[in-house]
Amino acid sequence: MTELWDANALHDPITSCDLFCFHNQGLFEEDARRITAYLVKNLKLDANSHVLDLGGGMGRIAKYLAPQVAQYTLADISLEMLKQAQIRLKGIAHVRLIHLKRPVIPCEPGSFDCCIAVDLFQHLPQPTLREYFPIVTSLLKPNGQFLFTTGLEPQNSQPKESDLKNADRLLGLLGLKTLPFGLLSTPLFEELINSSGYRLAERGKDFPGCLPFLPFQIPFTGYFYRLRRLN
């Protein structure tokens, strides 16, 4: 997977981080600003917050969120994506970039008020997901928040056929081959939440992960969970 994301970063980092921008820089930034505003409001982030951005890629969200918080840590498996992030985030103070080489995040326990993982989990195999959940738990402060988007609508355990067709339509517009979507099940997330020291604070399908002018609803972008670490 590291090789795949390195290749994507070298070929087209913008579209790799946000398919829905159609390689348009303006749309890419618009989407990033909208997501940032959502996160600030719903996670109640402020100038004292310490944020971990897991799978943050080239810093799509970090460019707008990092200046609003006290400390921002972006972690990714792709060194090439991190090189892009270093360029994109140049001049922004209190940003730390971490290259993940294995399921270990080299940060002090209880360091973060929140962790975000946007458009990440639908790309991870189940064993990797199971490894990262308790790691994130240990890095959050008591009552810290973990917000992540998923490849499935929370009330369903399998992707809808209509969602798969819409995904095919989007990939067709982009000239891409069909990719697997929604491979993780809702019961798996429920299991991880219950076994990793969290309580469910909120879940829904209004995460602003795609552009509003598209002529059809894009699947696997708006579904999210927001968790709180148990004390």
Q: What is the pLDDT of residues 112-158, one digit of tens each?
A: 999 999 988 877 778 888 899 999 999 999 999 999 988 666 555 55
pLDDT tens digits along 12-46: 788 778 877 778 899 899 999 999 999 999 999 99
The CATH number that applies at residue 100 is: 3.40.50.150
Among 75, 70, 31, smallest CA distance to 208 is for 31
Q: Please answer whether residues 42 and 193 qualify as being in contact, where contact means their C-beta atoms are separated by less than 8 angstroms.
A: no
192: in domain: no
What is the pLDDT of the chain when averaged over all its residues?
84
What pTM value is reported for the model?
0.86
Torsion angle of the four alpha carbons 60, 63, 69, 71, in this order, in degrees rounded to the nearest 10: 80
Query: What was the pLDDT predicted at 14?
Result: 86
Query: What was the pLDDT predicted at 2?
Result: 78
* 101/213: higher pLDDT: 101
137: in domain: yes
189 DSSP β-pair partners = none
116: three-class secondary structure by DSSP: strand
Residue 88 has pLDDT above 70, yes or no: yes
Share of the chain above pLDDT 70, in %: 79
pLDDT band at 184 (very low <50, low <70, confident <90, very high): low
The Cα 231–Cα 222 span in angstroms is: 29
Number of H helices, E strands in the chain: 8, 7
182: in domain: no
pLDDT band at 176 (very low <50, low <70, confident <90, very high): very low
97 DSSP β-pair partners = 74
Residue 180 has pLDDT above 80, yes or no: no
159: in domain: no
- The identity of residue 216, as a single letter, is F
101: in domain: yes
Number of folded domains that form the chain: 1
165: three-class secondary structure by DSSP: helix
The Cα 79–Cα 95 span in angstroms is: 16
- Write out the residue range of the structural domain in which residue 6 sits: 2-149+197-211+224-229
100: in domain: yes
14: in domain: yes
162: in domain: no
